[in-house]
Amino acid sequence: TTTHSRLLRAELLSFDADPGEGDSPAEGSVRHLEDGALWIEDGRIRAVDDYARLAPELPEGMEVIDHRGKLILPGFIDSHVHYVQLEIIASYGRQLLDWLNDYTFPEELQFSSREHAEALSEAFLDELLRVGTTTAQVFCSSHPVSVDAFFAASHRRGLCMLAGKVLMDRHAPAALCDDTEGGIRDTERLIGDWHGKGRLGYSLTPRFAPTSTRAQLDAAGALMRNDASLWLQTHLAENTGELDWVAELFPGSRDYLEVYEQSGLVGPRSTFAHGIHLDQEMRGRLAERGANLAFCPSSNMFLGSGLFDRLAPRDKGLAITYASDVGGGTDLSGLATLKAAYQVGQLRGQPLTAWQGFHGLTLGNARALSLDDRIGRLAPGLDADFVVLDPAATPLLARRTARCRSLAETLFALMMMGDDRTVLETWAGGRRQHRREP
């Protein structure tokens, strides 16, 4: 880490509140500086202001990086992704349960190897940084070594990451299943080694109800009750075949969500991926506990899971987060996630504005994950995690954005057309960790 002080001059955009669903952002929700200055020092943001206002205060000889013509936003956050599925992204043509058996479980078996886990951790983090994602909530495999490898790689890079060991003690190949108590003991060891170390946090990770016994879900709930600083990630109501299976496996639960409630797994730091097939009453129960639903639009379309209703949770005060869900998702890029969210929204008559989308990828995800005291905005005291976007990254994008007459139009073009080429640089912990090759 460097203690060195630097200034970046660029157009800056950061959210201070939810912009709402309107074409124009709610009053006071957006901070936009056309010729802005971002002053970073010791891995943190020291000041954010108009360049002309900050320039006279700068120490003599300070390094100024001139990014005029580029747009800086807080680093993107991915609330739900599986690093162990990186290499099975885009595996053809099945719905959830077949896809798990045919591609996912065989792939995850490889993560019993430390060398494999280390190599894929590095490759995954390289890919995240290439698309501007600086924080993610990550499923590892059921092997503790897959978690050690991922946290170690993240720690070396100074990244803010949440992750956990998959708990699964049934209904998968024997070599992928843990045993009920052993999985919990391994989880406790991993929490001790990694939770709160540097910028890392532990997320309890029961895969989903069908692959854990009630005893294992209860034990995970006990860990959560014991330490309110832990996160929890799992899957909920993604696919109708999954719903039927859960009803069969847990006849004592009124609905899928109640399976998790009965084990005490629903809390303010719980992320439930998908949540497509829920009713308003269930959404209300999630909202009451302060949990969030991870909307994974590219995954939902790829696996044919369904069209997520983005506005119904909002009516209940239930937070949603934006996520790639790679390898079910087809793209790690947050921009691609927003494009897919827009498309799902169109099919439901609820198109996503660029304001809502970019707020979601940054402050929205940070808040819902209780990380907004550290990341999600360009503001003094927060960690210096940000992305430098190039609105002229490709010839066609340059043509399109040259026509844009407002920030809203430019942002919308970026979310529909953007990809890894749009990300000129990614900074995390005050260091430039990715620069696009020319």
Q: Which residues bind Zn ion (CB under 5 A)?
A: 273, 325
The DSSP string of 202-253 is EEEEE--GGGS-HHHHHHHHHHHHH-TT-EEEEEES--HHHHHHHHHH-TTS
**HSE-up of residue 429 (Cα within 13 Å, Cβ side):** 17
**Distance of alpha carbon 195 from alpha carbon 165, whole angstroms:** 12
Q: At what angle do helices 334-347 and 407-417 cross, to 10 degrees?
A: 100
Whichever of 157 and 171 has its CB closer to ligand GUN, that residue is: 171
Report the partner that residue 285 touches, choosing among ligand GUN, Zn ion, none (CB closer than 5 to 8 A by kind).
none
Whichever of 329 and 391 has its CB closer to ligand GUN, that residue is: 329
Whichever of 286 and 411 has its CB closer to ligand GUN, that residue is: 286
Residue 366, strand partner residues? none
Residue 108, strand partner residues? none
Report the partner that residue 207 touches, choosing among ligand GUN, Zn ion, none (CB closer than 5 to 8 A by kind).
ligand GUN
Whichever of 100 and 223 has its CB closer to Zn ion, that residue is: 100
Report the partner that residue 208 touches, choosing among ligand GUN, Zn ion, none (CB closer than 5 to 8 A by kind).
ligand GUN
Whichever of 328 and 430 has its CB closer to ligand GUN, that residue is: 328
End-to-end CA distance of the chain: 26
Bridge-based pairing of strands 386-389 and 423-428 is: antiparallel
From residue 56, alpha-carbon distances to 11, 45, 371 in Å are 19, 18, 33
Report the partner that residue 104 touches, choosing among Zn ion, ligand GUN, none (CB closer than 5 to 8 A by kind).
ligand GUN
**Distance of alpha carbon 217 from alpha carbon 323, whole angstroms:** 24
- The 10 Å CB-count burial string (b at 16+, else e) for 220-242 is bbebbeeeeebbbbbbbbbbeeb
| 430 φ/ψ angles, rounded to the nearest 5 degrees | 80, 5
Q: Which residues here bind ligand GUN, judged by CB under 6 A?
A: 82, 96, 100, 104, 207-208, 235, 238, 299, 325, 328
Query: Please, are residues 138 and 83 in contact by the beta-carbon 8 Å criterion?
Result: yes
In the complex, the smallest distance separating the C-beta of residue 284 from ligand GUN, rounded to whole angstroms, is 24
CB atoms within 10 A of CB 1: 9
Report the partner that residue 6 touches, choosing among ligand GUN, Zn ion, none (CB closer than 5 to 8 A by kind).
none
In the complex, the smallest distance separating the C-beta of residue 323 from ligand GUN, rounded to whole angstroms, is 10
Report the partner that residue 14 touches, choosing among Zn ion, ligand GUN, none (CB closer than 5 to 8 A by kind).
none
In the complex, the smallest distance separating the C-beta of residue 259 from Zn ion, rounded to whole angstroms, is 17
Bridge-based pairing of strands 6-15 and 30-41 is: antiparallel
Query: Please, are residues 294 and 323 in contact by the beta-carbon 8 Å criterion?
Result: yes
Report the partner that residue 165 touches, choosing among Zn ion, ligand GUN, none (CB closer than 5 to 8 A by kind).
none
In the complex, the smallest distance separating the C-beta of residue 307 from ligand GUN, rounded to whole angstroms, is 15
Whichever of 10 and 273 has its CB closer to Zn ion, that residue is: 273
Quick one: which of 314, 310, 305, 331 has its CA closest to 76?
Answer: 331
Report the partner that residue 378 touches, choosing among ligand GUN, Zn ion, none (CB closer than 5 to 8 A by kind).
none
Quick one: which of 282, 286, 306 has its CA closest to 296?
Answer: 306
In the complex, the smallest distance separating the C-beta of residue 208 from Zn ion, rounded to whole angstroms, is 9
Whichever of 276 and 375 has its CB closer to ligand GUN, that residue is: 276
Whichever of 90 and 396 has its CB closer to ligand GUN, that residue is: 90
Whichever of 139 and 412 has its CB closer to ligand GUN, that residue is: 139
In the complex, the smallest distance separating the C-beta of residue 334 from ligand GUN, rounded to whole angstroms, is 18
In the complex, the smallest distance separating the C-beta of residue 158 from Zn ion, rounded to whole angstroms, is 26
In the complex, the smallest distance separating the C-beta of residue 211 from ligand GUN, rounded to whole angstroms, is 7
Report the partner that residue 39 touches, choosing among Zn ion, ligand GUN, none (CB closer than 5 to 8 A by kind).
none
Q: Which residue is nearest to ligand GUN (CB)?
A: 328
In the complex, the smallest distance separating the C-beta of residue 329 from Zn ion, rounded to whole angstroms, is 8
